[in-house]
């Protein structure tokens, strides 16, 4: 069965500094990987995905993530954090195949960007 | 930008009562889902719906739960007899293909 681990409950970073939110996954076969963000009292917003191709994927709001097959990781990054990036970030994985496959989410990492 | 909309945003119900959570998926989407998030826990898959039938459901989705697409736009989740442990944020999602899903803002269900 597929699973996702987000080892950090919280990440603190100063505004303007680079940020990394970690994610590792386990899935049989090729993974489809996703990052979602959740602002207070809001739903889950899609940030970016990796399906195939270039290991570095770019998404919304200046975020990017790097797929590393050997380390089974898909860390979320941003070169320069903004206070408005403070939110709860979820990594998710599904099996890479046609047809429906459920998303399996990690436990989430709270990102706090201080001014 | 099109979005998934859910109503109500917050529902309080007494234990044992039936609740219906409503969702309007993005109009050209074909796959529909319900997920839930118990406070402080991870987001969990409940059910997927495609071509007017359930394509997959989790062990959480027991006989107390049902889904329906009563017309061309709405997608509902019914809980027949709510329990305290059903208290959670329920997210509806939809997608064009079986790739990324777009989520609604959620309905917070509180069972008292």
Flag whether residue B107 sits within 8 Å of chain A, measured between CB atoms.
no
For the residues B42-69, what does the mean pLDDT come to? 93
Structure token digits, residue A36: 């979602």
Q: Give the pLDDT confidence score for residue A29 in this predicted structure.
A: 84
Interface residue B91 vs chain A (CB under 8 A): yes
Mean pLDDT, chain A, rounded, equals: 92
Between the CA of residue A41 and those of A87, A104, B8, B10, what are the distances in Å?
Answer: 11, 21, 13, 11
Closest approach of A82 to chain B, Cα-based (Å): 23
At A92 the pLDDT is 94
Question: pLDDT category, B20, cuts 50, 70, 90?
Answer: very high
The span from the CA of A88 to the CA of A8, in Å, is 11
Give the separation between CA B58 and CA A86, rounded to whole angstroms.
31
Q: What is the end-to-end Cα distance of chain A in Å, rounded?
A: 41
Higher pLDDT: B5 or A94? It is: B5
Two structure tokens written together for B97 = 């293909």
Minimal Cβ distance to A102: which of B56, B103, B106: B56
Q: Inspect the interface and report whether the beta carbons of A32 and B58 lie closer than 8 Å.
A: no
If you average pLDDT over residues A51-71, what whole number do you get? 93
Q: Which chain B residue lies closest to A45 (C-alpha atoms)?
A: B103
What is the structure's pLDDT at A95? Answer: 76
What average pLDDT is seen over chain B? 92
- The reply to whether B64 touches chain A by the CB within 8 Å rule is no
């Amino acid at each position: 069965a597929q699973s996702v681990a987000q080892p950090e409950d919280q990440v603190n970073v100063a505004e303007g500094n680079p940020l990394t939110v970690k994610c590792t996954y386990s899935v049989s076969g090729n993974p489809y990987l996703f990052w979602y963000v959740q602002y207070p009292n809001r739903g889950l917003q899609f940030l970016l995905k990796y399906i195939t191709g270039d290991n570095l994927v770019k998404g919304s709001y200046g975020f990017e993530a790097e797929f590393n097959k050997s380390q089974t990781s898909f860390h979320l990054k941003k070169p320069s954090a903004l206070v408005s990036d403070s939110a709860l970030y979820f990594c998710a994985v599904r099996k890479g195949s046609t047809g429906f496959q459920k998303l399996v989410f990690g436990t989430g990492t709270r990102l706090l960007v201080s001014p | 930008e099109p979005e998934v909309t859910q109503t109500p945003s917050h529902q309080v119900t007494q234990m044992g009562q039936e609740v219906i959570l409503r969702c309007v998926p993005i109009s050209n989407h074909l796959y529909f889902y319900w997920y839930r998030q118990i406070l402080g826990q991870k987001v969990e898959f409940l059910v997927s719906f495609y071509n007017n039938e359930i394509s997959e459901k989790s062990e959480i989705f027991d006989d107390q739960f049902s889904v329906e697409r009563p017309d061309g736009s709405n997608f509902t989740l019914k809980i027949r007899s709510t329990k305290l442990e059903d208290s959670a944020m329920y997210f509806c999602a939809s997608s064009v293909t079986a790739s990324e899903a777009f989520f609604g803002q959620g309905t917070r269900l509180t069972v008292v």
